[in-house]
Structure 1
């Protein structure tokens, strides 16, 4: 398996790179600043790219079995300003995938990327209005873009709850297709466990062209 990982120097991207290497995959890490990725491995190639430049991405995606996007913004950067990170980067990614002949895409999103009834209190009354509303809005726009203009791409959007830097918990990750959040689920999940799910999903045709909410069951 050969995968290209975007956002590999971020906390979720790093865990994805490490998990993929542990599985023996070949990994092409596409980053803005290669010096920030200190991992070394014979199966790891680190490439400096502009994620908003389709031409820049194309040569680094060729021969990959899948593209995994762990790109993410921060509340401090987009809390009170419009965020277009996810849509702008996804247009470049999809264009580069078409040109390089890669069909499989896994992209991280989040619980609450669209407003729904009965969403958790934390999202509805705290995170959305006070902290990351602009990030969530743009994640929803990214998902809408894939649904309307990326149907030739075998994408899976993975929506986790809050992310922690704890090691893998050993718990099973529950996943439900088409959900914005999971009932009876903890509101945090280890980044490493999300990485495991995303890599497992690469070969899972049941989640092609789908958005999937993931989390831990409270009962486990």
Structure 2
């Protein structure tokens, strides 16, 4: 299996790279600053790119089984500063995929990209109005773009709750198609467990062209 990972120097991208290498995957890490990725492995290729230029991305996507985007934006005071990171980067990613003939895409967003009834208190009253409202809004715009203009791409947008840097918990990760959040699930999840889920679904056709909320389920 060969994957291209964007955002590989960020905390979620790094865990995705490490998990993929542990599984024996061939990984192409596409980053702005290669010096920030200190992992060394014979199956890892690190390439410097401008993520907003599809002509730079396309050669590195070629022959990949999947493109995995772990790009993340910066929160702003009260979440007021508009963000276009997710939409701008996704347009260049999709353009590069079309150029290179790669169809499988997995991208990370979050719970609560659109307001819905019954969502957790922390999203409705803290995260959206005070911290990451700008990011959630742009994640939602990215999801809309994929849904409306990218039906030729086999995308899955993974919506996790709050991310932690803790090791994998060993708990099963459950997913529900089309949901903004999961009822009766913890509001945090390990980045490593998100990485595991994303790699597990590379060939899972039931989540193609879908946005799925994930979280921890109960062990049997």
TM-score normalized with structure 2 length: 0.98
What do residues 101-123 of structure 1 show as CA deviations (whole Å, max 9, x unaligned)?
00000000000011111111100
Residue 124 of structure 2 is matched in structure 1 by: 124
Q: In structure 1, how many angstroms separate the alpha carbons of the residues matched to 2:219 and 2:130?
A: 30
Q: Residues 142-175 of structure 1, C-alpha deviation per residue, up to 9 Å, x if partnerless?
A: 0000000010000000000000000000000011
Aligned-pair CA distance for 1:31: 0.2
Q: Is the 1:179–1:211 contact (alpha carbons within 8 Å) kept by the matching residues of 2?
A: yes
Structure 2 contact 77–131 (Cα < 8 Å) conserved: no
Q: Which runs of 5+ in 2 are unaligned?
A: none
2:156 matches 1:150: no
Deviation for aligned residue 1:6 = 0.2
Q: Distance in 1 between matches of 2:138 and 2:74?
A: 12
SS at match of 2:169: coil
Gaps in structure 1 of 5+ consecutive residues? none
Following superposition, the deviation at residue 78 of structure 1 comes to: 8.9
| TM-score, with structure 1 as normaliser | 0.98
* Distance in 2 of aligned mates of 1:77 and 1:54: 31
Change (3 A) 1:78 1:128: closer
- Identify the residue that residue 73 of structure 1 maps to in structure 2: 73
Specify the alignment match of 1:52 in structure 2.
52
Aligned length: 220
Q: Spell out the pairing of 1:70-109 with structure 2 (5 A cutoff).
A: 70-76=70-76, 79-109=79-109
Task: Tell me by how many angstroms 1:3 deviates.
Answer: 0.1
C-alpha RMSD over aligned residues: 1.3
**Would you identify which runs of 4 or more consecutive aligned residues in structure 1 move more than 2 Å?**
76-80, 217-220
The answer to whether the 8 Å contact 2:86/2:138 transfers is yes
2:48 equivalent to 1:31: no
Report the more deviating stretch, 77-86 or 20-29: 77-86
Distance 1:78 1:109, change over 3 A: farther
Provide the rounded CA distance (Å) in 2 between the counterparts of 1:204 and 1:68: 14
Deviations 1:120-145, CA, capped at 9 Å, x for gaps: 11000010000000000000000000
Distance in 2 (CA, whole Å) between partners of 1:19 and 1:219 is 22
Q: How far apart, in 2, do the equivalents of 1:115 and 1:54 lie? A: 32
Report the secondary structure of 1:106's partner residue: strand
